[in-house]
Amino acid sequence: MSPGPGPLDGGGGPPLLTRPPAPRPASSHAPGDGPWWLVPAVGLPLLLVVVLVAVLGVGIRPQRSPLSGAGDPYFPQAGAGGYDALSYLIDLTVEGPVLAGSTTVTARATQDLDVVHLDLGLPVTAATVDGEPALVETVDGTDLRVEPADGIEAGQEFVVRVDYAGDPGEVSVPGVAEDQSPLHRQGEELGIAGEPASSAWWFPADDHPSDPALMEVRVRVPRGVEVISVGELVDRDAGDEEDWDTWHWRAREPMATYLNFLMVGQYRLEQGTVSGRPYVYAVSERFSPEQQTDLLGELAETPQWIAELETDLGPYPFSEMGGVVPPFSFWFGGLETQTRPIYLGRALAADGHADTLMVHELAHMWFGDAVTLSRWDDIFNNEGWASYLQWVVTERRGGPTTNQQMVATYEQLADDPGFWAVPLDDPGPQRIFATVYERGPMALQALRNLIGEEAFTTLMRDWAQQRGARSVEDFLDRARATTDVDLDPWYQAWFRGTTAPERTPENGFGA
């Protein structure tokens, strides 16, 4: 994700940021209130919404295992335990403000289960497990609990289908500023995309980045409306109805749930193939025809940037590529939705900003998408690397060297105690994006100075190819394995320290 330069509604807004990352706006969520993104109400008259669907109308039994939540220290109720999600088939109809349809989740149990937990904020109408009716209830707004008629054994593959319908606008997230919501609307147009959570607004999932899975999205909309999502565009008229189209998208590689997205509205599409790799670019028709052409021209640079990043990071990790520019006023400048990053239109159109924005989001295809987070306090693995690749490309295009950029950034921030008070390895859930865009690449350049060019280049390329959920500790282990240099002073200074690192060789400052 890239920090946002200001709102967009087809034009206007405040000036672009000229320095990297501003911290997130402070949340009004008070400490101790619980995770801010897991306490929505779904617009029903009850404060605590409980939805029961069962053949006998009987509530769910008390669960034997506390499997709600993936154990994330920042968002402890996000995701689930006890199973590994393998794939999601999302099948929806969008008409007006309402989403209606089903999601089929295929998973494998990692322990015996009598309840399957999913994250969803929309009202549920029915559920089955392996084709048999199941009891369901929704607790605390988004904790969907599905109880099969028979228990699920460890190692067993099982299929959960959830039918649901509702207005995602009814899924509120107390404590989150409105401009940070993953739900975006403008007139009849709809967008759902955001970080760290977005799936609860439109499909049930194990909503945690440690559990990537295959995604397939089928969305039925009135004819003349476009639907944009991730992966391959399989079909844009998969039905035989006169007044409706069904858009079918399919990702051929696993992804974290927040990397999936949904855009519904009027879009101008360009499709093709470059070097055997298919692409789809989409730009909202709410921009003027001239703006659409210019924005599509920027998106058309995607293959060139991917090819350049491959020289640093190794083979591109996905089958498709692309980009989308919706009409909405995002709080971010870009988001690394898998295979098809989302860009804020005014940021992409800004002189001198498009290149670094695209490099950042496309670098995320390796760092953040293929190599995803183990926990949300591992955010350095995403944003630190993507920001560093901006520095690498800037140097290659004739700008300052990566070391010069490190020194300039350090000198700009050295006397800012508030910046350094946020440790890189534990920024906290409310400050997760506050300093990583600057402190992350500085730490990486310091590491490069310490271990040398050859070792760092090998480390960067090898790490980029380690597909799966990875932690900062995993990265540190890999870094230590590449060198005999003692990395503890560097780690303490850049990751754990709460003051500006001293300018010493041990901390990675060159002579």
Whole-number Å distance between alpha carbons of 508 and 421: 20
Assess whether pLDDT exceeds 80 at residue 48.
Answer: no
Taken in order 46, 50, 55, 57, is the CA torsion positive or negative? negative
pLDDT mean over 353-376: 96
DSSP tag of 152: B
- Using one digit for the tens of pLDDT, what is the confidence trace for 2-21? 876 533 333 333 222 223 33
Whole-number Å distance between alpha carbons of 163 and 79: 19
- Using one digit for the tens of pLDDT, what is the confidence trace for 157-209? 999 999 999 999 998 744 345 667 899 999 889 999 999 889 999 999 999 99
pLDDT mean over 81-103: 97
Assess whether pLDDT exceeds 80 at residue 286.
Answer: yes
Q: Specify the pLDDT at position 30.
A: 34
Whole-number Å distance between alpha carbons of 414 and 443: 14
Whole-number Å distance between alpha carbons of 295 and 475: 36
State how beta strands 143-147 and 116-119 pair: antiparallel
Top-confidence residue, 326 or 19 = 326
Least confident of 270-274, 345-349, 377-381: 345-349
Of 258, 281, 437, 491, catalytic: 437
Is 383 marked as a binding-site residue? yes
- Determine contact, residues 271/279, Cβ cutoff 8 Å: yes
Top-confidence residue, 238 or 212 = 212
Mean residue pLDDT of the chain comes to: 87
- CATH superfamily entry for domain 376-507: Neutral Protease Domain 2 (1.10.390.10)
Q: Specify the pLDDT at position 76.
A: 83
Whole-number Å distance between alpha carbons of 324 and 263: 9
Least confident of 60-64, 107-111, 137-141, 288-292: 60-64
Q: Specify the pLDDT at position 70.
A: 87
Q: Specify the pLDDT at position 198.
A: 92
Would you list the DSSP string of 247-272?
A: EEEE-SS-B-GGG--EEEE-EEEEEE
Q: Specify the pLDDT at position 66.
A: 43
Q: Specify the pLDDT at position 221.
A: 97
Q: Give 3-state DSSP helix, strand, coil % of the chain, rounded to 5.
A: 25, 25, 45
Whole-number Å distance between alpha carbons of 346 and 326: 11
The model's pTM: 0.87
Q: Specify the pLDDT at position 77.
A: 80
Q: Specify the pLDDT at position 78.
A: 86
Assess whether pLDDT exceeds 70 at residue 452.
Answer: yes
What tokens were used for 129?
């497990």
Top-confidence residue, 239 or 48 = 239
Amino acid present at 419: F
Active site residue 437: yes
Enclosing H/E stretch for 478 = helix 472-481
* Banded pLDDT at 68 (limits 50, 70, 90): confident
What tokens were used for 212?
């990537």
Top-confidence residue, 238 or 320 = 320
State how beta strands 226-228 and 262-265 pair: antiparallel
Q: Specify the pLDDT at position 75.
A: 85
Domain boundaries, the chain: 376-507
Q: Specify the pLDDT at position 181.
A: 84
What tokens were used for 226?
């476009």
Burial of 235 from C-beta contacts in 10 A (0-12 / 13-18 / 19+): middle
Least confident of 25-39, 115-129, 352-366, 487-501: 25-39
pLDDT mean over 136-140: 92
- Determine contact, residues 260/337, Cβ cutoff 8 Å: yes
Is 241 marked as a binding-site residue? no
Active site residue 267: no
Of 361, 410, 438, 491, catalytic: 361
Q: Specify the pLDDT at position 125.
A: 97
Assess whether pLDDT exceeds 50 at residue 33.
Answer: no
State how beta strands 468-470 and 371-373 pair: parallel
Query: Closest Cα to residue 343, out of 355, 361, 359?
Result: 361
Least confident of 7-11, 416-420, 455-459: 7-11
Share of the chain above pLDDT 70, in %: 85
Question: 486-501 burial, b for 16+ CB within 10 Å, e for fewer?
Answer: ebebbbebbbebeebb
